[in-house]
Amino acid sequence: MSSTRDVVFVDGVRTPFGRSGPKGMYAETRADDLVVRVLRELLERNPGLPPERVDEVAIAATTQIGDQGLTIGRSAAVLAGLPKSVPGFAVDRMCAGAMTAVTSVAGGIAFGAYDVALAGGVEHMGRHPMGEAVDPNPRFLAERLVDGSALVMGMTAENLHDRYPAITRERADAYAAASQEKAAKAYADEKIQPDLVEMAIRSADLGWGLATADEAPRPGTTTEVLATLKTPFRPHGRVTAGNSSGINDGATGCVLAASDVAAELGLPARMRLVSYAFAGVDPEVMGIGPIPSTERALRLAGLGIGDIGLFEINEAFAVQVLAFLDHYGIDGDDPRVNPYGGAIAYGHPLAASGVRLMIQLARQFAERPDVRYGMTTMCVGMGMGGTVIWENLNEEAK
């Protein structure tokens, strides 16, 4: 093909996110079953999409072993009842796994290799703790390729506090409390529920149940409460469980299509992919990754930061979001930033989170036809950042 095609975000859903561990709601639920539920829901919500028209299924997982292994994009597609002719693959870019699944299949759609694709991610951090079965090469430390703190995400956040002394613990706690407050309001206003898919869960002790809402949010969190929390990564540090995302289980998924194919099938085109970029930074300060990836994505789109009317920034740590905002001269309480709250409240099941950002941005675009461009961006373990810029396709936004 001599030219590329426009790629549109048709729809996205996710399971409620659970707290990891033996008391979490998904403790006895398989990771692949979470993905299967998401894929089936996407097909049910979009009856105009014949399953045989799906050309690819890309699913991300950071720990690709056990029930997150076996090329989960393919295995989940088969388990979800898609035709055996539909291929699939697995993706790993740590926290940006689902984001990379989206950009990978979007490139195929733009090039003409696919018409329609499903993309998403899953992480069951209760079954597969971050770093499980990893064997880091000793050369990383022996040859001083990275600082030892680079392999512990909380320590990289403390390093970021060192680099940006104006971002105090008090600022981080205030941002975290605001995230919880915004998430509580979003739930009260029923902004989150339309894109959640109920998930059957079981417990050997309690029997069967139904997951209908995120387990992690802590409504009513105050800065006074956050100030009492310990700093596990450094004595007298600034990073706590309260101003960081949690350890979570969950899955996300979305439908992407060429714009002309979406029109042919009668599928909604909620937003158009404008540009995307990934960038590398020093692994010991991985939280600054979204800054260079955003600069590159903006340059590729021919836009400036002032053109972005909505920001969905993954809140791995409050300090990481504040470093991004300070760089661009944006206030921490700017209403364009994470209007529904973020990962500090909802949780961060690693490879699944990128599509959660997109789901929330698409919902906000529908409410804000006056906004033309929005952004999803996140930091990534081992020193990376990822950014995707989207255009609102609601009529008034064009």
Active site residues: 95, 348, 379
Q: Report the distance separating Cα 343 and Cα 216, nearest Å.
A: 9
Q: Report the distance separating Cα 208 and Cα 215, nearest Å.
A: 17
Secondary structure letter of residue 229 according to DSSP: S
The total of other beta-carbon atoms located within 10 Å of residue 276's CB is 23
The alpha carbon of 157 is separated from its chain's Cα centroid by a whole number of angstroms, namely: 18
Q: What are phi and psi of 201, to 5 degrees?
A: -130, 160
- Position 179: which residue type? S
Cα distances (Å, whole numbers) of residue 357 to 43, 254, 360, 388: 20, 11, 5, 10
Task: Cite the DSSP H helix spans in 197-284.
Answer: 223-226, 259-265
The total of other beta-carbon atoms located within 10 Å of residue 3's CB is 7
Q: Report the distance separating Cα 362 and Cα 356, nearest Å.
A: 10
Q: Report the distance separating Cα 87 and Cα 78, nearest Å.
A: 9
For residue 119 the two structure tokens come to 């993309």
Q: Report the distance separating Cα 296 and Cα 294, nearest Å.
A: 5
Secondary structure letter of residue 137 according to DSSP: -
Q: Pairing between strand 207-211 and 116-124? A: unpaired
Q: Please, which residues bridge with residue 376 across strands? A: 312, 388
Written as one string, the DSSP assignment of 14-68 is EPPPEE-STTSTTTTS-HHHHHHHHHHHHHHH-TTS-GGG--EEEEE-SS-SGGG
The total of other beta-carbon atoms located within 10 Å of residue 166's CB is 9
Q: Of 87, 115, 91, which Cα lies nearest the Cα of 104? A: 91
Q: Please, which residues bridge with residue 124 across strands? A: 249
What is the C-alpha end-to-end distance of the chain, expressed in Å? Answer: 27
